[in-house]
Amino acid sequence: MPVTLSSVDFPKKPGVYLFKSEKGKVLYVGKATRLNERIRSYFAANPDRQMIPELVRRSDAVECMVTPSPEEALILERELIRQHKPRYNSMLKDDKSFPFLVMTNEEYPRIMYTRHPPKGSMRWGPFANVGAAKQVMQLLRRQFGIRDCKELLPHGCLSMHIGLCSGPCISGEGYSESVDAAKRILNGDAVELLEEFAVQMDTASQEMQFEKAAKSRDMIRAIRITTGQHVVSSKVYRDCDALGIAVQGDLAAVVVIHANNGIVQGQEVWPMLHRGDTSETISMFTSEHYASRTPPRLLLTPEPLADGTEQWLSSRRGSNVEVRIPVRGDLVTLQTLAQQNAMIQVERLSNRTSGSLEQRAADEGAALLGLEQLDHIVCFDMAQLLGDERVGSSVTFRNGRPHKKEYRKYTVKGDAMDDLRMMREVVERWLKRQDEWPDLVLLDGGETHLSTISKLLEEHGILGRFELAALAKREETLFRNDQTPLVLDRKGRVMVHARDEAHRFVNTFHRKRRSRSRLQDPLEEVEGLGAKKMQNLLRHFGGRQGVAHASLIDLKTVPGIGPSLAQRIHEAMQQ
């Protein structure tokens, strides 16, 4: 069945996309600065290329792979075209290649910037940012005196006389050490050189030599840009798979990025049913994925694998398989790329299936409560700190999904200091603005909250117009009028989700309100003094003035306040 625009959900990020046939054959590879905008052009009424209608008609799926930058997308597109030789990429099958920085295999190696590296040479790249690569080559020549001339001249050359070459043609002393240092830079170990340029830049700025400082700044930028262009290509990528995983609810996406011969060669995406343990999901996927294929020499994972999995992989391969959670270097970059793509893919998978999954959660919740439907839920929650910044919120769920356009924030206007009267005020204000009633109004609280709001609805003559319930955090117990309390299980997850979302939303609002007065309240800045301990402290001394006049010994008597915390509180209040 031909692919349609409605079946394609790409992110607003740079990357490559692949049109595939029903049998999985790659028909076309393209690149984009913004994938979501680029893919729309293939479904326009008047496409800009003649081959597009036929390509879309022959394609059954379109996949994407995000990259950190458009330059990386350019490189990856080329590598995928070389690998798959897609039928509709004929216009791109030319002799163009991307440039490399090269160190030749000679007695006195020379550095080159070329699209056709000599045999036996060490190479770095390919580089999409041509200007930065050239600048770094000049930097290495200037710093380390690496030659670039095609032959050694007995009397030296112009580069030697102007300081761009150390003149190994005359004396090769120390030249091998310089070459080794330059190789370290190209391998990404540029920390020391970057620090030297940073010092030079700061010194020049202090001496008001701003032109010299700008040159140092440009060199730092050139090194970072060039050494950072190794995401889709690196000399350490040798028969390596990087696994990335991202989770949304019960759904997980596992991405496998395979790299070999120094280059990322492509990715596979696998949807998984997630049971709550990421390590277990990764281990299960690994055992299924490599049951029908040879494992790589190196496997990068975001989580440790289950016991015995690494040994099983080695037996499947017939030689040792190293499983690693990378912490530094290019392998971390590759692992991060797998994680980023997993996050993109799980969002796409979720968007395809969320309607059914989340609607199913709403339907299960309705059946649990004995309602015809539970497609419209409004949930209320309150937040305060001893009467300071009294706020409330309401969140709305439609068809099991958060509907953020209908989220509302409330600042309590009355003099109520307790959650019950505060919630009554907020719900009453909400009632006056409604032109449709939800299927369920859910309160974050217990029986007392339910009773208070029931009386409010009765006073307004609307009790019974919609279902009213209160959900207590303890054991996730749901209270309803004239009903036995119900402990929610997985079938009631839509109500737990709504309550948790209301809690998150109101606490975010509350923190923002409190942050405005932090400069006037030194207690807010005390490390280790959370909301609960602060509440105990204020109650013990009757307010902030009491805390300010309390001695260090008095502070130590407050439950939950240890000696070191008491010392920090005392110092903060004495400033």
- Encode pLDDT of 42-92 as tens digits: 888 777 667 788 888 888 888 888 988 877 777 787 778 777 878 776 443
- Helix H or strand E encompassing 143: helix 130-144
Surface-to-core class of residue 558, CB atoms within 10 Å of its CB (0-12 exposed, 13-18 middle, 19+ buried): buried
Check pLDDT > 50 for residue 433.
Answer: yes
The DSSP symbol for 380 reads E
Mean predicted confidence (pLDDT) in 19-38: 87
The pLDDT value given to residue 17: 92
Residue 356 belongs to a domain: no
- Phi and psi angles of residue 284, each rounded to the nearest 5 degrees, phi first: -65, -45
Distance between CA 352 and CA 354 in Å, rounded?
A: 6
Judge whether residue 128 has pLDDT over 60.
no
Among residues 436, 447, 453, 424, the alpha carbon closest in space to that of 396 is found at 436
Q: Which of 135, 227, 240 is nearest to 183 (CA)?
A: 227
Average pLDDT over residues 415-428: 87
Question: Two tokens at 538?
Answer: 């204020």
In a shared domain, residues 493 and 525: no
Name the pLDDT band for 227 (thresholds 50, 70, 90).
low
- Are 221 and 244 in a shared domain? no
The total of other beta-carbon atoms located within 10 Å of residue 314's CB is: 15
Most confident of 173-187, 341-355, 418-432, 513-527: 418-432
φ/ψ of 25, rounded to 5, equals -75, 135
List residues bridging with 440 in a β-sheet.
Answer: 377, 467
Residues 50 and 107 occupy one common structural domain = no
Domain count of the chain?
Answer: 5
Decide: 123 and 113 in contact? Cβ < 8 Å.
no
Which pLDDT does position 90 carry in this prediction? Answer: 47
CA distance 152 to 154: 7
Both structure tokens of 327: 């912490």
- Chain mean pLDDT for the chain: 81
Q: What's the average model confidence in pLDDT over 273-294?
A: 76
Closest listed residue to residue 233, CA positions, set 261, 199, 205: 261
Do 387 and 485 belong together in one domain? Answer: yes
Q: Which residue has the higher pLDDT, 71 or 486?
A: 486
Give the residue among 193, 269, 298, 342 at the shortest CA–CA distance from 24.
269
Structural domain contains residue 369: no
When pLDDT is cut at 50, 70 and 90, the band that residue 452 belongs to is very high
Tokens standing for residue 388 = 């300071």
What value does the mean pLDDT take over residues 487-511?
88
**Is it the case that residue 259 has pLDDT exceeding 50?**
yes
Alpha helices in 328-408 (DSSP H): 330-369
Asked if the structure places residue 421 within a domain, the reply is yes
Name, of 161-165, 274-278, 316-320, the range with top average pLDDT.
316-320
Q: Helices marked H in 229-308 — which ranges?
A: 278-289
Q: Which pLDDT value is given to residue 123? A: 78
pLDDT tens, position by position, 539-565:
888 777 788 888 888 888 888 888 888
pLDDT, tens only, 146-204:
888 877 777 777 777 777 787 888 787 878 877 877 787 776 566 777 788 788 899 99
Q: CA separation (Å) from 316 to 157, 184, 244, 323, 498?
A: 58, 36, 22, 14, 46
Which carries the bigger pLDDT value, residue 30 or residue 263? 30
Q: How sure is the predictor about 498, in pLDDT bands with cuts at 50, 70 and 90?
A: very high
Residue 433, token pair as written in the block: 């603005």
* For the chain, percent of residues with pLDDT exceeding 70: 87
Mean pLDDT, rounded, for 301-325: 85
**What's the rounded Cα separation, in Å, for the pair 240 and 34?**
28
**DSSP-based helix, strand, coil % in the chain, nearest 5:** 45, 20, 35
Task: Please name the residues in contact with 449: beta carbons below 8 A apart, sequence gap of 6 or more.
Answer: 419, 420, 423, 443, 470
Query: At which of 47, 70, 92 does a domain end?
Result: 92
- For residue 353, name the pLDDT band (cuts at 50, 70, 90): low
Q: What is the CATH number of the domain that holds 11?
A: 3.40.1440.10
- Structural domain range at position 452: 376-515
Q: Which of the given ranges, 178-187, 317-326, 442-451, has the highest pLDDT on average?
A: 442-451
Tell me, yes or no, whether 407 lies in a domain.
yes
Query: Could you tell me where the beta strands, DSSP code E, fall in 371-513?
Result: 376-385, 388-398, 401-402, 408-411, 440-444, 467-472, 477-480, 486-487
Note whether residue 363 is domain-resident: no
Helices and strands of the chain, counted as H and E runs? 18, 19
- Asked if residue 364 is part of any domain, the answer here is no
Query: Please, what is the angle between helix 191-206 and helix 210-227, to 10°?
Result: 160
Residue 303 lies inside a defined structural domain of this protein = yes
> Tokens for 520?
């006037």
Q: In whole angstroms, how far apart are CA 456 and each of 190, 379, 407, 422?
A: 68, 16, 22, 12
Rounded to the nearest angstrom, the gap between the alpha carbon of residue 226 and the centroid of all alpha carbons in its chain is 23
Arithmetic mean of pLDDT, 28-47: 84
pLDDT digits (tens, 9 = 90+) for 359-395: 888 888 998 998 888 989 999 998 876 556 788 899 9
Do 250 and 317 share a domain, yes or no? yes
Q: Which of 227, 262, 286 is the last residue of a domain?
A: 227
Q: Are 146 and 178 in contact (CB under 8 A)?
A: yes
Closest CA to 438 of 480, 409, 467: 467
Task: Give the pLDDT score at 195.
Answer: 81
Q: Where does residue 386 rank: exposed (0-12), middle (13-18), buried (19+ CB within 10 A)?
A: middle
Q: What percent of the chain has pLDDT over 90?
A: 15
Q: Is the same domain home to 214 and 252?
A: no
Residues 113 and 186 in one domain: yes
Higher-pLDDT residue of 160 and 486 is: 486
Asked whether residue 368 is assigned to any structural domain, the reply reads: no
Give the chain's largest Cα–Cα span.
Answer: 104
Q: Tell me, what's the pLDDT at 413?
A: 85
Residues 443 and 507 occupy one common structural domain:
yes
How many residues are present in the chain?
A: 575
Model pLDDT, residue 95: 42
**23 and 51: one domain?**
yes
Question: Tell me, what's the pLDDT at 574?
Answer: 74
pLDDT computed for residue 357 by the predictor: 73
pLDDT of residue 557: 85
Lowest model confidence (mean pLDDT) among 94-98, 445-449, 471-475: 94-98
According to the model, what pLDDT value does residue 107 have? 86
Tens digit of pLDDT for each residue in 436-446? 889 999 999 99
DSSP one-letter code for 107: S
- CA dist 180 and 407 (Å) reads 60
Confidence band, pLDDT 50/70/90 cuts, at residue 478: very high
CATH number of domain containing 555:
1.10.150.20
| Predicted pLDDT at 92 | 36
3 state DSSP class of 433: coil
Confidence of residue 521 (pLDDT cuts 50, 70, 90): low
* Contact (Cβ atoms closer than 8 angstroms) between residue 17 and residue 64: yes
SS3 113: strand
Whether 48 and 142 map to the same domain: the answer is no
Q: How many CA atoms lie within 13 A of 318 on its CB side?
A: 2
What does the alpha-carbon distance between residue 426 and residue 53 come to, in Å, rounded to a whole number? 56
What's the pLDDT band for 355 if we cut at 50, 70, 90? Answer: low
Among candidate residues 59, 92, 125, the one where a domain is terminated: 92
Shared-domain flag, residues 206 and 266 = no
What residues does 17 pair with on adjacent strands? 30, 64
Residue 93 has pLDDT above 50, yes or no: no
Helix (H) or strand (E) holding 496, with range, is helix 493-515
Task: Provide the 3-class DSSP secondary structure of residue 56.
Answer: helix
* Cα distances (angstroms) measured from residue 22 to each of 84, 266, 393, 443, 496: 16, 18, 49, 50, 41
pLDDT at 12 over 50: yes
> What pLDDT sits at residue 91?
43
Rounded CA separation 404/398 (Å): 10
Q: Residue 501: its pLDDT value, please?
A: 92
pLDDT band at 115 (very low <50, low <70, confident <90, very high): confident
- Confirm if 448 and 422 have CB atoms less than 8 A apart: no
* CA gap 320, 269 in Å, rounded: 25
506 and 398, same domain (yes or no)? yes
Contacts of residue 72, defined as CB under 8 A and 6 or more positions apart, other chains included, come to 14, 128, 229, 231, 232
| Cβ atoms of residues 294 and 281 within 8 Å | no
Contact of 233 with 74, CB cutoff 8 Å: no
Q: Residue 32: in which H helix or E strand, if any?
A: strand 26-32
